Amino acid sequence: VYGDGGQLDFIARNGSYQLLESMFGLDKLDFNTVEGQISIRGGVLTINKLRLKGDKISCSIKGDVVLKDDIRNSEVNLSGAMEIASLKNKKVSMLITGTIGNAAIRYI
């Protein structure tokens, strides 16, 4: 649903996202639902809410992506948290920084 002020709200159900690298023993993120709320203004993509819920993992992310002509050079500044079933649903906070083409994930 495209809302006022350039905001896009979306929901996806029963899908999978293949990870580039294994994370906590997971090669892909299988999800029951993904809910998002994003907006673009002045060349900045703002993720107001991105929540993924699945049987093995749940996570939420928010932050900004400064868009560049070459999408790989777009600057990423995101924060979030994950709960992973294999870690007894322990909550793990994370920061994602760098560029889309060279992002770094730091667990805190």
Q: What is the pLDDT of residue 70?
A: 97
Q: What is the pLDDT of residue 6?
A: 76
| Distance, CA of 44 to CA of 103 (rounded, Å) | 17
Total domains in the chain come to 1
> Please, what are the averages of pLDDT over each run of 10 residues along the chain (108 residues)?
74 90 83 96 95 94 97 97 89 95 92
Q: What is the pLDDT of residue 5?
A: 64
Q: Give the residue numbers spanning the domain of 9.
A: 4-107
Q: At CA 52, angle to CA 51 and CA 53, rounded to 5?
A: 120
For 1-108, strand residue ranges (E) read: 7-23, 26-41, 44-53, 57-66, 75-84, 90-99, 102-107
